[in-house]
Structure 1
Amino acid sequence: MATTPTDSTPFDSLADYIALPRVEALALSPDGQTAVLTVAALKKDGTGYERALWAVPADGGGAPRRLTRSAKGEAGAAFTASGDILFVSARPDSEGDADDESGQLWLLPAAGGEARPVTRLAGGVDGIAATAEASDRLVISASLLPGADTLESEASLRGRRKEKKVSAILHDTYPVRFWDHDLGPAEPHLLSIDVDALEDTIAAEVAEAAAEQEQAAEAVKDAVPGADASASSAEEKPYPATLPRPRDLTPKPGRSADHAEAALTPDGTTLIASIEHREQRAGRRVIVAIDTATGERTTLFDEVDVDYEMPAVSHDGTLIAYLRTVKSSPVAPTDYEVWVADIDGSGARRIAADWDRWASSFAFAADDSALIATADDDGRGPVFRLPLDGGAPERLTDDDFAYSNVLVDRGTGDLVALRSSWVVPPHPVRISGDGTVIALATPATTPRAPGSITEVDTTAEDGARVRGWLLLPDGASAEAPAPLLLWIHGGPLNSWNAWSWRWAPLLAVARGYAVLLPDPALSTGYGLDFIARGWNSWGHKPYTDLLAITDAVEARDDIDQTRTAAMGGSFGGYMANWVAGHTDRFRAIVTHASLWALDQFAGTTDSSEYWQRIFTPEAMVEHSPHRFVRDVRTPLLVVHGDKDYRVPIGEGLRLWSELAEHHADADGRMPHRFLYFPDENHWVLKPQHAVIWYETVFAFLAEHVRGEEFQRPQLLG
């Protein structure tokens, strides 16, 4: 059915789609009355997103109210115990260096007034690691150079590197990069800050200015004629006396705090943190307790070949919850175990032992009698209650949504969260004790989705149920069957259950395609045995599951089985490559950021030890797609970003080289194409590049699935 102007949606136009405002995060005030949303909006030039904080009533009424506005934007919102709002922003600090582009911690007072800076660290603030419920002490993550031992010397050393334009990094541990950025030379630290130590008075500012003038005079008097000018230009400047001085809780951390997860006791005296104990190329996660006043550290949980992660502290400060995971091997995946212990690590016990799901987040319920958890479950992402007394887990939400950012209102016991599905983007909601869900106000209104969504499933050859979501365009029928696009998820430990701004199947639906989003073997939310079906065997059950559910969907009379295509990114790209080498049933295949030669990938990715640990050497050879390049009969659109360090560009380059080796004609031409992004990573995140990505994908599909002439996107030259 043709789409009329009155039926149009933002998904009909790529420009309209990228302009949709996006709710990215959620914070809840201590009194439970206000939710603060981080909302991203497209810049006027269309080349990025600006983020601002918005307040909405947490009871379901009222209207959104914008709290912040700056050219640099704000993110990472959190509340202090007294109700002030904290956030990270690179907005200008009137008392800082004019050319400082680093993000700093800012505070927006609950009583009103303008936001003011809380930090002035030379390298900026990476994020807020933890806040305390009954104290104005908080912990931030910030990266400091290892060659400095004070904040002042660190700032001086950074200044000298900048002045000399030095970018070199010396490593003595593995890895050297992560996802899309180089690691080092700075190392992440955890720093505690007492926000109530802010001296926001004229007298304090006058005293600080006088101290700076005195230091400058001393520097001039002590200057030695003929001394290195660079040394004098980078004199150590004292950290501002009007700001609370951060206390380093992790001195000389190496790479141990790269991905630290932390929680503070309510009084702010103890930080419970999951950090990494380095081991050759990898490491194990351990949980430590750090006294935030003295920095004294006690290891609470540490086992060889076991990771301890996701620490949470009870509201009364007496209990710790955490995730315990034995490291997987080629034999089988291992379970994600939820444990609870006393605050000193004693009395550890596992809860929800028979719960065959993997918690992706958890927090203590208002009365500390249970954990409120999220987990993938049968193509959804519900909220669960896990009793601490050994009772059976209880599913609190019963809909087709996936929930995230779940926060507890201590006053009522209700929950506030973000939820989404494949037809509804993330939006804030309140969940009452009886499971009733109420949508909260949001400045990012929900766009109307084209077409419809339905659940599909089939039975695999070994009897396993394989399910997925099928999105159908308006007008699809036996008289007008829709072409089918098989869209394979990444991970591979993942599930197609939540909205993604990067992977937007509704854009394809708006262009007349039916989109199948299946969860084959290795997908989460179906139990450990379902994951094990594809473990150390990526090319077997995951592949046959995909073909089985595609067969089932193609049997529908509203699907045109003669016009089908497949696509995927990351592990989905691996599967797309595997599909290309094992069947010619699809008219076109799009393979994004894909694994091609497993032996090469496993040694060059940013986390090589993990990938080599979960495969046997034999399986890595047997299931490598590059071995079947001669059997590729389907046109491929290869897409890769040069800044992709998870699946390095060498995978895409080798795939393209070997396609040319075996399939190019005498003039070097192929039916395949290679879309290359020199400055994008594993994803394609810049909005102008996302538009080109979709324009190229849809032109490629139109050429091979619909028989149309290829329309080269204009901005590709």
Structure 2
Amino acid sequence: MSLKRALQVDDMLQLNVVSDPQFTPDGRAFTYTMTTINDQNEYESQLMYQRLKDKHATPWTFHASKNSNLRFSPDGKRAVFQSTRSGRPQLWLIHTDGGEAKQLTTFRHGATNPIWSKDGKHVFFTAFLEADDDIHNQKEPTKEEEQKEKEQKQKKPLIVNRITYKSDARGFHDQKRAQIIMLTIYDEALYQLTEADADHVLQDISPDGTTLLYAANLTDNADYELTNDLYCLHLMTKATSKLTDGKSTYDKAVFSPDGSKIASFGHEFAYKGASLTELYVFDIKTKERTCLSKDWDVELGDAMIGDTRLGESESGPIWNEDSSKIFFIATDQGATEFHAASIDGGNEVIYKQNNHIFGFSYDKYSNSFILGMSRPTNPGEFYLLQEDGTLEPMTDNNRTFLRDVDLQEPEELLIQTEDNWEVQGWLLRPYGFTEGKKYPTILEIHGGPHAMYGQTFFFEMQLLAAKGYVVLYTNPRGSHGYGQAFVNACRGDYGGGDYRDIMAAVDYAMHQYSFIDEQRLGVTGGSYGGFMTNWIVGHTNRFKAAVTQRSISNWLSFYGVSDIGFFFTEWEHGVNLLDDPAKLWEFSPLKYAKNVETPLLILHGELDYRCPIEQGEQLFITLKHLKKEVEFVRFPHANHELSRSGNPDMRIERLNHIIRWFDTYL
């Protein structure tokens, strides 16, 4: 019996979540963002600074707001960061030898994602602007003005004339577009560099400071395409050249230090949304594109799913100093790894353990790295990976939490399916596990479906184990981490092979572990995992309780109400609504509502535009009309990200409802 106590719901409020490590230009220290939940149950992010020789970090910001995206000037004497301390996210400048931060921008809709020019004279950033906005006359609204504007907007109809008029991240888009702005540091002059009716995504600045690299879809058909292109804007002449051919998608593009090449993640939609991310290198003079990863069969970047990763971190590609190698994170077999690719196509795994590498920073002087890593029993800390492979812990921000709370190590399962696929999964034993005792078991199903469970901290799963449940979770076909054929295998077959994979894992676990009580099985999942939960209870009665979260119940209506429905439906099922509605109905859990005998709890956010709440409403009304055991919980002001980054109070409410439902029926 552990001497530590069991995890509690409110422990979520105690977590220190770290992200975005950044070496100082001299390589002797690093900064990072630490996000916490304050006494008002609001998120607060502070910038932390730590010398490599120290084991103690110093806060660089103290304001009760969200401070993030700190980027150093090349000489290391100044840094720019974004902060919400004035209301909207704006850019602020701080001298690294001390002093107060100075506000640089007052844009009406905020300013984000700063990048320094290599000479330290300019900062480039992104701001949302309307077509007739003047960047020299930007004023951030006060809280009173913002409230008045909101009230006035609620009195007017929303005129919609674009198919992409809303998104789960931004809500209703209105007429704002992401434009790229240049700020001159010495006089704080502003220059708008892009103005097309499109969202421009800032990528990088060339080493000689002459060329801005950005991604955008500037075609007339942009509303109907998920492609984008890379563009080079020549700052002196204002001339723009297109680097790519309009057939792919690109992101995280960066110039090589010698200025001759550009590395970028991307893919050609060969398998639609199930396409593996590739690593491309462009020759700037010839515009020739080389795919370094064409023979790797590995997902590049971080496809790991968790519920506590607040804040983004770099996953690559990043060049080494002599432009011969490119560093990046890759997703493989339930873990993430750190890789180096050479420009001749070689690929070396620099660091690999059974854990989750979620971000990194590179120091050109020592050829060392700061790695952000999480494990199932650690929410995440930073480590120094030296050139000789030595790994040294740098931070210990969750030591109090880890000292007091018992967390469960997962046990790996490898399940052979009936058609000879191998499915990887894990099992958590309950807190205070006793041999010879039977335990209720909860099956967790991830969303995506093209994502991955694995060796990372997952608060919800640890909480269920703390409450006395065995927790089983798997990566059925359709998941990332197992190659292109595997991640593509569920397309056109939702509820087919993927369902059989999941049920085979349940059968395998019950056969392997005598402590699983087969009469007390529960199931839960969100998004695609919510779809699969709905599918399961419509096709088997072996589960005695189910919780479906932000789910899909009807593919016919999903096509028209989701922010991605008009293309995702065809991507995943091969047809759109008017092509073959009968086929979409066959894939819809709502069709099988009469079969449901499992008590079902439906959890849904009111502002979920990815899987809109009408999906939960349809399922609830249908089951209630059939006099089934069902309950519907609607979370106000919550979008699709409720479980990961939603309002802390609502996240706690959600967890309490999940536990209540399983405690009642299991």
TM-score, normalization: structure 2?
Answer: 0.89
Partner of 1:698: 659
SS of the residue aligned with 2:218?
strand
CA distance in 1, matches of 2:60, 2:139: 33
Partner of 2:603: 639
SS of the residue aligned with 1:87?
strand
Number of aligned residue pairs: 630
Percent identity, please. 24
Residues 128, 176 of structure 2: 8 Å contact kept: yes
SS of the residue aligned with 2:250?
strand
SS of the residue aligned with 2:332?
coil
Report whether the alignment pairs 1:309 with 2:295.
Answer: no
In structure 1, what residue type is equivalent to 2:637? D
Measured against aligned partners, the alpha-carbon deviations of 1:64-97 in whole angstroms (never above 9, x if no partner) come to 11111112231222222122222111324xxxxx
Partner of 1:353: 294
SS of the residue aligned with 2:317?
strand
Residues 376, 409 of structure 2: 8 Å contact kept: no
Shift of residue 153 of structure 1?
Answer: 7.2
Structure 2, unpaired ranges of 5+: 302-315
Q: Which of 415, 420, 424 is the matching residue for 1:458?
A: 415
Partner of 1:236: none
Shift of residue 367 of structure 1?
Answer: 3.0
CA distance in 1, matches of 2:320, 2:424: 32
Report whether the alignment pairs 1:64 with 2:57.
Answer: yes
Between 1:546-555 and 1:436-445, the stretch displaced more is: 436-445
Partner of 1:386: 341
The 1:423/1:163 distance shift into structure 2, 3 A limit, reads closer
The 1:283/1:311 distance shift into structure 2, 3 A limit, reads same
Residues 261, 275 of structure 1: 8 Å contact kept: no
Shift of residue 405 of structure 1?
Answer: 2.1
Q: Which of 519, 537, 550 is the matching residue for 1:593?
A: 550
CA distance in 2, matches of 1:294, 1:159: 43
Give me the CA root mean square deviation. 2.5
Q: Which of 101, 125, 129 is the matching residue for 1:140?
A: 125
In structure 2, what residue type is equivalent to 1:18? L
SS of the residue aligned with 1:542?
helix
CA distance in 1, matches of 2:22, 2:5: 34
Alignment of 1:531-542 (within 5 A): 531-542=487-498
CA distance in 2, matches of 1:20, 1:323: 32
Q: Which runs of 4+ in 1 moved over 6 A?
A: 153-156, 158-164
Q: Which of 129, 136, 147 is the matching residue for 1:151?
A: 136
Measured against aligned partners, the alpha-carbon deviations of 1:315-343 in whole angstroms (never above 9, x if no partner) come to 2222101234122468x944433211123
CA distance in 2, matches of 1:21, 1:623: 41
Partner of 2:331: 376
Partner of 1:120: 106
CA distance in 2, matches of 1:533, 1:644: 27
Q: Which of 550, 560, 583 is the matching residue for 1:603?
A: 560
CA distance in 1, matches of 2:622, 2:378: 41
CA distance in 1, matches of 2:598, 2:146: 51
Shift of residue 519 of structure 1?
Answer: 0.4
Shift of residue 433 of structure 1?
Answer: 2.7
Report whether the alignment pairs 1:103 with 2:89.
Answer: yes
Residues 645, 681 of structure 1: 8 Å contact kept: yes
Residues 71, 114 of structure 2: 8 Å contact kept: no
CA distance in 2, matches of 1:438, 1:550: 39
Partner of 2:281: 340
Shift of residue 494 of structure 1?
Answer: 0.4
Shift of residue 432 of structure 1?
Answer: 2.2
Partner of 2:368: 414
Report whether the alignment pairs 1:491 with 2:448.
Answer: yes
Alignment of 1:661-672 (within 5 A): 661-662=625-626, 664=627, 670-672=628-630
Report whether the alignment pairs 1:254 with 2:254.
Answer: no
Report whether the alignment pairs 1:396 with 2:350.
Answer: yes
Partner of 1:192: 182
Partner of 2:32: 37
Report whether the alignment pairs 1:82 with 2:37.
Answer: no
Q: Which of 311, 316, 321 is the matching residue for 2:263?
A: 321
The 1:475/1:442 distance shift into structure 2, 3 A limit, reads closer
Partner of 2:48: 54
In structure 1, what residue type is equivalent to 2:126? S
Structure 1, unpaired ranges of 5+: 93-100, 199-243, 665-669, 706-717
Between 1:642-651 and 1:352-361, the stretch displaced more is: 352-361
Alignment of 1:650-661 (within 5 A): 650-661=614-625
CA distance in 1, matches of 2:231, 2:190: 20
Between 1:147-156 and 1:459-468, the stretch displaced more is: 147-156
Shift of residue 159 of structure 1?
Answer: 11
Between 1:414-423 and 1:462-471, the stretch displaced more is: 414-423
Highest Rg: 1 or 2? Answer: 1
SS of the residue aligned with 1:277?
coil
Residues 135, 192 of structure 2: 8 Å contact kept: no
Report whether the alignment pairs 1:265 with 2:265.
Answer: no
CA distance in 2, matches of 1:472, 1:454: 8
Measured against aligned partners, the alpha-carbon deviations of 1:650-689 in whole angstroms (never above 9, x if no partner) come to 1111111111122x1xxxxx42111111211113211111
SS of the residue aligned with 2:661?
helix
In structure 1, what residue type is equivalent to 2:80? L
Residues 56, 62 of structure 1: 8 Å contact kept: yes
The 1:491/1:498 distance shift into structure 2, 3 A limit, reads farther
SS of the residue aligned with 1:578?
helix
Partner of 1:205: none
CA distance in 1, matches of 2:161, 2:131: 12
CA distance in 2, matches of 1:173, 1:114: 44
Shift of residue 353 of structure 1?
Answer: 1.8
Q: Which of 277, 292, 297 is the matching residue for 2:240?
A: 297
Residues 116, 124 of structure 2: 8 Å contact kept: yes
In structure 1, what residue type is equivalent to 2:466? A
TM-score, normalization: structure 1?
Answer: 0.83
Shift of residue 461 of structure 1?
Answer: 0.9
Q: Which of 166, 175, 179 is the matching residue for 2:164?
A: 175
SS of the residue aligned with 2:538?
helix
Residues 57, 440 of structure 1: 8 Å contact kept: no
The 1:604/1:255 distance shift into structure 2, 3 A limit, reads farther
Report whether the alignment pairs 1:425 with 2:367.
Answer: no
SS of the residue aligned with 1:396?
strand
In structure 2, what residue type is equivalent to 1:327? F
Between 1:127-136 and 1:519-528, the stretch displaced more is: 127-136
